[in-house]
């Protein structure tokens, strides 16, 4: 239980730091959140828990593919906000787009022999 709490605390600290940095320097905050820190931590935790190279390889490969459908949201959101849309509706549309693209990814990748 202590191990789980430590993992959650460390992950939360990274998010809090990124949030605080973003309040003063949006570009620096964006750089922090764009780093694959959460993915790296997840891989470290997974390795520590399993020491299974195949499981870690599958995890890392799937992470790559799952990142791709999330990227268009980061283009849509600023466009909608700059166009006058409110934050919550813009965020909701970005999330809907991302979920739709995740669905397409899950349907398309097996046709190309990609295992998620």
For residues 4-29, average pLDDT: 89
For residues 77-86, average pLDDT: 98
Q: What is the mean pLDDT of the chain?
A: 93
Phi and psi of 71, rounded to 5°? -65, -40
pLDDT of residue 100: 98
77 pLDDT higher than 90: yes
How far apart are alpha carbons 44 and 20 in whole angstroms?
A: 25
The band of 38, judged by pLDDT with boundaries at 50, 70 and 90, is confident
Q: How is residue 107 written in tokens?
A: 């349907």
pLDDT of residue 63: 92
User: Rounded to 5 degrees, what angle do the CA atoms 33, 56, 19 make?
Assistant: 15
């Amino acid at each position: 239980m202590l191990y789980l709490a430590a993992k959650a605390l460390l992950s939360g600290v990274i998010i809090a730091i990124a949030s605080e940095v973003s309040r003063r320097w949006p570009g620096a905050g964006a750089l922090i959140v764009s780093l694959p820190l959460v993915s790296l931590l997840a891989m470290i935790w997974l390795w520590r828990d399993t020491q299974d190279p195949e499981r870690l390889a599958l995890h890392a490969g799937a992470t790559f593919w799952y990142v791709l459908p999330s990227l268009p949201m980061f283009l849509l959101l600023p466009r909608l906000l700059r166009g006058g849309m409110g934050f919550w509706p813009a965020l909701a549309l970005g999330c809907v787009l991302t979920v739709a693209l995740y669905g397409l990814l899950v349907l398309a990748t097996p046709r190309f022999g990609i295992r998620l």
